Amino acid sequence: MWIDTHCHFDVSDFDADRVDVAKHAKSAGVEAIVVVAYLAQHWQHLLAVCASINEPKLLPVLGLHPCYIAEHQHEHLLQLEQYLQRQACIAIGEIGLDTYVADIKGQELYQKQQDFFSAQLQLAKQYQKPVILHVRKAHADVFKILRQQRFDGGGIVHAFSGGVEEAKMYAKLGFKLGIGGSVTYEQAKRLHNVIDAMPIESLVIETDAPDMIPQPYRNPNAHFTRNSPAYLPCIAQALANSKQLTLAQLAPILWQNSCQALHLSLQSNGFN
Ligand SMILES: [Zn+2]
Per-run averaged pLDDT (10 residues), the chain, 272 residues: 98 96 97 98 98 97 98 98 98 97 94 98 98 98 97 97 97 98 92 97 97 78 79 96 97 98 87 58
Ligand 1 midpoint to CA 20 (Å): 22
Ligand 1 midpoint to CA 59 (Å): 14
What whole-number distance in Å separates Cα of residue 116 and Cα of residue 252? 35
pLDDT of 126 = 98
pLDDT of 269 = 74
Give CA separation, 255 vs 13, 166, 252, in Å: 27, 23, 5
Range of the domain at 138: 2-261
Confidence (pTM): 0.96
Ligand 1 midpoint to CA 228 (Å): 13
- Provide CB contacts within 8 A for 197, sequence distance 6+: 164, 167, 168
101, part of any domain:
yes
136, part of any domain:
yes
pLDDT of 213 = 83
220, part of any domain:
yes
Ligand 1 midpoint to CA 112 (Å): 20
267, part of any domain:
no
Do residues 85 and 112 touch, judged by C-beta distance below 8 A?
Answer: no
Ligand 1 midpoint to CA 131 (Å): 13
pLDDT of 188 = 92
212, part of any domain:
yes
- Residue count of the chain, please give it: 272
pLDDT of 41 = 98
191, part of any domain:
yes
195, part of any domain:
yes
What whole-number distance in Å separates Cα of residue 257 and Cα of residue 206? 12
Do residues 117 and 104 touch, judged by C-beta distance below 8 A?
Answer: no
- The CATH number for 189's domain is 3.20.20.140
147, part of any domain:
yes
pLDDT of 221 = 64
What whole-number distance in Å separates Cα of residue 57 and Cα of residue 247? 21
Q: How many structural domains does the chain have?
A: 1
